[in-house]
Amino acid sequence: MVCMTAVLPAGAGEAPSGGFPRELVDALGRRVVVPRAPQRIVVVFPSNVELAWALGLADRVVAIGGRVRWPEDARSKPSIGGALGYSAEAVAAFQPDLLVVTPSHHSALSLVDAFDRAKLPCVVLAHPDLPSVFRNIDLLGRATGADEQARRVREDMQARLAAIERRLEGAPRRSVYFETAAAARGAFQTVGTGHYANDALGWAGGRNVFADLQGAAQVSAEAIFARDPDVIVSLQQVPRDPALIGQRPGWHTLRAVRTKRVVVLERGHKLIPGPRQIEAVEQYARALHPERFA
């Protein structure tokens, strides 16, 4: 076996549950044959853990990696590492018949290489946008035999996305500054093109004022002032009064502050590109177009 994640259209190439072996193509372009339904799965990265639980695979997961906060019962699973890196030997000790990983940094990517060399199974999931989350759902469903549950999860998300689109039909796209953190020394964290949150804002009827940047990005207050967004959406671990943002030096001049279009949301799962990302889109849509959800 090798590593997997297919960039397939939602629902494409599905085999009947129990129909193994199965061939898949992963996010790194590898063709993978899964000989039998996996029973000992190691899952790395919080979004992949959430996806495994959504597909009803919790009982088959023997270990996890990364800073997993949800689902709560996932935190009781043995850990194979996190911020300090991952050990291929630690993963191999669990004798997995499937590894699910996202190459979020070098140590995670090295797991893929190590398991490929050892001819051990590995599924690579990528998530630059919401459609890729749908593809991940289908892929993991195919890799594990959980096809029907994957279909139900995906179709529920797609139905909710379609409901948002109906609500926003004809609505103007509002420019938005999306803040993921207020850093020290006057720097602020945001996202640009290639980040799933940028894509989520688009589905929610927004136009990210920093879409010209790439991935997670750091910007200055002056850059925010220059782009003068219609709306400010700030993610905070513990949400505080939105008025506090307008009290930052110079921020009172921003259109969003003057028109009281500053929204603070709990960070929570919004920066985890798993099945709950649809909830983030719903909340962004309400923040950007409250009149459409009255």
38 touches 143 (CB < 8 A):
yes
99 touches 115 (CB < 8 A):
yes
Q: pLDDT of 70-81, one tens digit each?
A: 889 999 999 987
Pick the CATH number of 3-156 from 3.40.50.1980, 3.40.30.10, 2.60.120.920, 3.40.1190.20: 3.40.50.1980
Q: pLDDT of 253-292, one tens digit each?
A: 999 999 999 999 999 889 999 999 999 999 999 999 999 9
Q: pLDDT of 8-55, one tens digit each?
A: 333 333 344 568 999 898 887 888 888 899 999 999 999 999 999 999
Other C-beta atoms within 10 Å of 70: how many?
A: 16
Q: pLDDT of 201-258, one tens digit each?
A: 999 999 999 999 999 999 999 999 999 999 999 999 999 999 999 999 999 999 999 9
Determine the Cα–Cα distance for residues 75 and 178; give it in Å rounded to an integer: 30
Determine the Cα–Cα distance for residues 204 and 198; give it in Å rounded to an integer: 10
46 touches 67 (CB < 8 A):
yes
Supply the mean pLDDT for the chain.
89
CATH 3.40.50.1980 residue window(s) in the chain: 3-156, 170-293
254 touches 224 (CB < 8 A):
yes
170-293 architecture in CATH? Answer: 3-Layer(aba) Sandwich (3.40)
Whether the model pTM is above 0.85: yes
